[in-house]
A and B are shown apart, each in its own frame.
Chain A
């Protein structure tokens, strides 16, 4: 897993609530057997007319050239619906390192963390402040300090992450390394609960 400490970047504002994982990556792209190459199909049906890459939808934010960056900012309840981790893979493969929202669905949040994509939960008011910024403005996310800052205004908010997951993210460790080292304890648990 990729580690992440600090990032300052422009952001892509996605002013849509309840973005479900079927929109992030439609089911027809789940036939893959590897984790690679999902980025090109991220938000596929919002991005293109009739699934045609030569016909990008002008009103969709990923197609608007003024917006770019490694931070995606979305309205509340981002990542609801299906547990497909392909959603996190497509966001990561597209080039996002951080997703900001006022509310994340549980499974998506775990999937993002397990793939080195940091979900940052902010208050509704702070989210509106971010959406009010221009396309050239940047956000800074500092995982060690657990802060997100709107650089143009200096407005800052703290965000939550448990210290175990924070350590994993900062160092690029994953849960499986941890669990593989726990085998004796797991075997002892099994014996005691047979």
Chain B
């Protein structure tokens, strides 16, 4: 029997299989950031051990950094201490750091791919659940806890039980106004926030093949939001074209050699998945979430479920809790509802293509006067590209300010927060209670839907304005 893409890469990286236990899996690349690494560094020091392969680790500061005046010292003392601790730890242990002020600094899942560090066939981990983003290149990439960061520091390996495999096929052509964010929000709404727990997901089908690398990253990024260990897409010419020529991409003869192995990375025709799901691209509308987990999403033209549609008492109670938090009513429509904030950014949607999409909608128009914005590029490189393409002028003319790179209002660890009780259309990945600030009400959507709200001040079907 043939092998799935996942199995091909996994099998190649198993150093040892522990009997009735996890596999010891070798890790090719380890990304770290300031929030989930300090306890791992101190743990390794306490053991008197050394970092085993520091040259396979890349660090950046992203979660905790301000997105204005990055040239000045960080004001928040705890944030500053954590970022300084990362600088000190990287120096002490010989880890490459693209810290604040560095030209390569940015959200860890944006910089890895854009620098060509992320490559097909690799195993990649990071103490961050959105590490699944890198799976867009045909790599096994997943988020880990800090104890596991310490494991990789100590041994370049991790203990993992082999997950089951799921394939989600999306075939056909997307409707006008529908982008990759809508695909993944549709999938999560379909199978729920826990629908892929225990699985590694491969996304396949003609609709996936037609997507750019940026769009593929958006899909893989949110795999964790349905509980998946990770998500991946087989590499193809789109992947190879994206990687070629990037800073850390293989060069010359090495490129040819690597390319030949990358071309072997696909699921064999006779490989078996534990579950397969088939979706028609034309069934997908622009999506928006209404609740407090990413599975609570619907078409922007849809209506919220009725209370009676829940038969299970706990589920009903949870739905009512979510409605209360969100200030919404069962059965209502969202279209036309005023929002106060728009956040465009995060490891889900802060790449150059996202800014091009938004710019294409707001060009020559003015932001709604009641909308407050947080527009945050994923990296210094993205910020530079925005200027190079003149997109900054389109945003400025629309009355919208572009900030500096970081995770920002996705999780509100810095000062970029949404005020309690206010709604925010957000291109990020989580609508959990308090995620964007205590009491903040998050509505997840695509950059197009966010751009539409930016102009109208309301939840808008992008198709009504393009």
**Assembled-state Cα–Cα distance A111/B149 (Å):** 11
Whether B38 and A18, one on each chain, are in contact in the complex, defined by CB atoms closer than 8 angstroms, is no
Chain B neighbourhood of A15, CB < 8 A:
314, 317
**Assembled-state Cα–Cα distance A162/B159 (Å):** 12
Chain A positions 52-105 with a Cβ under 8 Å from a chain B Cβ:
75-77, 80-86, 88, 103, 105
A88 CB to closest chain B CB (Å) equals 7
Selected interface stretch from A138-146, A148-156, A179-187: A179-187
Whether A179 and B154, one on each chain, are in contact in the complex, defined by CB atoms closer than 8 angstroms, is yes
Chain B neighbourhood of A88, CB < 8 A:
145
Chain B neighbourhood of A111, CB < 8 A:
145-147
Whether B155 and A18, one on each chain, are in contact in the complex, defined by CB atoms closer than 8 angstroms, is no
Q: Name the residue of chain B whose CB is nearest to the CB of A36.
A: B39
Interface size class of B (residues with CB under 8 A): 35 or more
Whether B20 and A33, one on each chain, are in contact in the complex, defined by CB atoms closer than 8 angstroms, is no
Chain B positions 392-435 with a Cβ under 8 Å from a chain A Cβ:
411-413, 430, 432-435
Interface size counted on chain A using CB atoms at 8 A: 55
**Assembled-state Cα–Cα distance A32/B146 (Å):** 13
Number of A-B contacts (CB under 8 A): 183
Q: Which of B18, B38, B159 has the most CB of A within 10 A?
A: B159
**Assembled-state Cα–Cα distance A83/B227 (Å):** 11
Selected interface stretch from B74-82, B100-108, B207-215: B74-82
B247 interface residue (CB < 8 Å to A): no
Whether B157 and A182, one on each chain, are in contact in the complex, defined by CB atoms closer than 8 angstroms, is yes
Chain A neighbourhood of B166, CB < 8 A:
none
**Assembled-state Cα–Cα distance A105/B226 (Å):** 10
**Assembled-state Cα–Cα distance A105/B432 (Å):** 15
A6 interface residue (CB < 8 Å to B): no
Chain B neighbourhood of A183, CB < 8 A:
52, 155
Q: Name the residue of chain B whose CB is nearest to the CB of A30.
A: B35
A130 CB to closest chain B CB (Å) equals 13
Q: Indicate whether A28 sits within 8 Å of B413 (C-beta atoms), given known contacts A174-B147, A185-B16.
A: yes
Selected interface stretch from B21-29, B111-119, B175-183: B21-29
Which residue in B19, B82, B157, B317 is a CB contact (below 8 Å) of A179?
B157
Whether B194 and A186, one on each chain, are in contact in the complex, defined by CB atoms closer than 8 angstroms, is no
Chain A positions 158-194 with a Cβ under 8 Å from a chain B Cβ:
162-165, 174-176, 178-180, 182-183, 185-186, 189-190, 193
Proximity bits, A1-45, B CB within 8 Å = 1, else 0:
000000000000001111010110011101111110000000001
Whether B42 and A175, one on each chain, are in contact in the complex, defined by CB atoms closer than 8 angstroms, is no
Q: Name the residue of chain A whose CB is nearest to the CB of B413.
A: A27
Whether A103 and B39, one on each chain, are in contact in the complex, defined by CB atoms closer than 8 angstroms, is no
**Assembled-state Cα–Cα distance A152/B64 (Å):** 48
Whether B42 and A34, one on each chain, are in contact in the complex, defined by CB atoms closer than 8 angstroms, is yes
Which residue in B18, B43, B145, B434 is a CB contact (below 8 Å) of A164?
B18
The 5 A-B pairs at the shortest CB distance, nearest first, are namely A164-B21, A85-B145, A114-B147, A179-B155, A111-B145
Which of A's residues lie within 8 Å of B, judged by CB?
15-18, 20, 22-23, 26-28, 30-35, 45, 50-51, 75-77, 80-86, 88, 103, 105-107, 110-111, 114-115, 162-165, 174-176, 178-180, 182-183, 185-186, 189-190, 193
Which of B's residues lie within 8 Å of A, judged by CB?
12, 15-16, 18-22, 24, 26, 35-36, 38-39, 42-43, 47, 49, 52, 63-64, 76, 78-79, 81-82, 85, 127-129, 143-148, 150-151, 154-157, 159, 161, 163, 193-194, 197-198, 224, 227, 229, 293, 295, 314-315, 317-318, 321, 411-413, 430, 432-435, 438
Please name 6 further chain A to chain B contacts, defined as beta carbons within 8 Å, in addition to the given A31-B76, A186-B52, sorted by A numbering.
Answer: A23-B433, A32-B82, A45-B438, A81-B432, A85-B146, A179-B155
